[in-house]
Amino acid sequence: MGKDKEKQSIALKVPKGTKDWDGKDMVIRDKIFSTITQVFKRHGAVTIDTPVFELKDILTGKYGEDSKLIYDLKDQGGEICSLRYDLTVPFARWLAMNSSIQNIKRYHIAKVYRRDQPAMTKGRMREFYQCDFDIAGTYDPMLPDAEIIRITCEIFEALGWKGKYTIKLNHRKILDGIFQVCGVPTDKLRTISSAVDKLDKSPWEEVRREMTEDKGLDGEVADRIGEYCVRKGGRDLLDQLQKDATFTENQSAKEGLADMQLLFTYLDAFSVLDRVSFDLSLARGLDYYTGVIYEVITEGSAPQTKEGQEIQRTGKKEAKPNKHASNIDGDEDRSNDPTVGVGSVAAGGRYDNLVADFSKKQQIPCVGISFGVDRIFSITKQRLAADASAASIRMNEVDVYVMAFGGKGFEGLLAERMEVAKRLWDAGIKAEFSWKVKPKLPAQFKAAETNGVPFAIILGDDELAAGKCKIKEMGLPDGHAEKDGVLIEMANLETEVKTRVAQQAETLANGVNSMTLE
């Protein structure tokens, strides 16, 4: 009895920061996956896969202050492992283990794990998908980097974002140059970089306080950093920095500015220069970046409420406890916290030394980007909910529902429905039919409508006797000439269906665009 009671008391829930996916959410997410994958393949990428957990030593020391978010596993047979934090470090480890591969365009779509503070409805989760694209190999400067930015623009345009995104750019050498010129001690470069990286979430006053009070930086040095890191722009900012004699005397800054000059030229050639913002506050907290770095933001990246934006802008703390705030260990879901936005929806950069960290024999420069599918999903779903004109989301990809009807003595025409379905399947057409021997016509229409099936093939005794059937496009308005369907020859069934399905597809944008994401 004791064991039975114990079984009954188990709470049926998923772990914090995770969720089950089903229904329309899966349809939207799958469309995002397919859209991103098509762009990756267009640019010649091949895919790989790596284990969901790595030896802990592989991940240690690669993520700066974020290393505390790594999920460690218990000792299993003498191996101390951790769940992968991203797909970049496993890729570098894979390159180090495969010395015959000196260059590759690779993409990888898989789940990663971070013990972060969850905000589920905003795509901030502990288990989530990343879609990575990386170019590994030695090439002329900034050419692969420019193609990564071009790929990023192609993906967000294909997702239907229509310019509603900005790619923030910076360069680690420029950032290091700023710190060196301003007088940051060498041993504090990375930790101060992590503080600067918070400028997109916190006001300068709060970042300065962290630098000086928490990390022991001299106040005057912090103020000099602030004069640089609050600046953003485009080629105008690049020109200003190149005219700064003190700054350009620094070797690191000089090299970074030369890279950015070249990158801007290539981005102009790729017609994507207008999508980027040169932002000196962008730091990217991960330790392995060595060159250009970037993040993609959109209107959902910041807190959506005026209250949240004001709190974020001013850095004010609430006088009374916030019921939405996270608890000490960060387990509480912060979906309703007004200070939390979706954050960046994609990010990456150049990491030329990571492979060499694993194998001194392998020095393979790399540059890449990671797309946060769950954050992209969150914004996509919000836009769909706000768009009354958005097309309904189909629950499956079936193109034809095979139906039958009849009067008194109707036997269901099951054999005939099965034969038609078989013919359509043989022709590569997605089709379904009711699994009832004598289905009622309204129930068949409801089944088709529920899943958004665009066409119905309707069988009747009289039509079959004449060698015909009806094809009906679902959802036509009253008064339309083909509202009740069109008679076609059974002999031409496959051709007629393929033609009509293709014609309808031409009127809809492919992939996620068919959802009218405005």
Query: Which residues does the annotation place in the binding site for L-histidine?
Result: 86-88, 114, 130, 134, 284, 288-289
Secondary structure (3-state) at 331: coil
Calpha distance 134→149 (Å, rounded): 12
Give, as one character, the DSSP assignment of residue 513: G
User: Smallest Cα–Cα separation from 432: which of 445, 442, 511, 506?
Assistant: 445
Q: Is the CB of residue 61 less than 8 Å from the CB of residue 71?
A: no
Residues belonging to the binding site are 86-88, 114, 130, 134, 284, 288-289
**Which residues of 137-280 form beta strands (DSSP E)?**
166-171, 232-233, 276-279
Tokens of 215: 């990390």
Calpha distance 402→416 (Å, rounded): 10
Calpha distance 275→164 (Å, rounded): 9
Phi and psi based region of residue 176 (left: phi greater than 0; alpha: psi -120 to 50; beta: remaining): alpha
Calpha distance 139→275 (Å, rounded): 24
Secondary structure (3-state) at 125: coil
Burial-class residue 514 by CB neighbours within 10 Å (0-12, 13-18, 19+). middle
Rounded to the nearest 10 degrees, how much is the dihedral formed by the CA atoms of 112, 114, 120, 123?
Answer: -50
Q: CA 155 → CA 69, 150, 256, 369, 517, distances in Å?
A: 29, 9, 27, 12, 14
Calpha distance 367→259 (Å, rounded): 14
User: Smallest Cα–Cα separation from 152: which of 288, 359, 298?
Assistant: 298
User: Smallest Cα–Cα separation from 474: which of 403, 388, 390?
Assistant: 403
Burial-class residue 398 by CB neighbours within 10 Å (0-12, 13-18, 19+). middle
Sign, Cα dihedral of 26, 27, 30, 31: negative
Calpha distance 252→283 (Å, rounded): 15
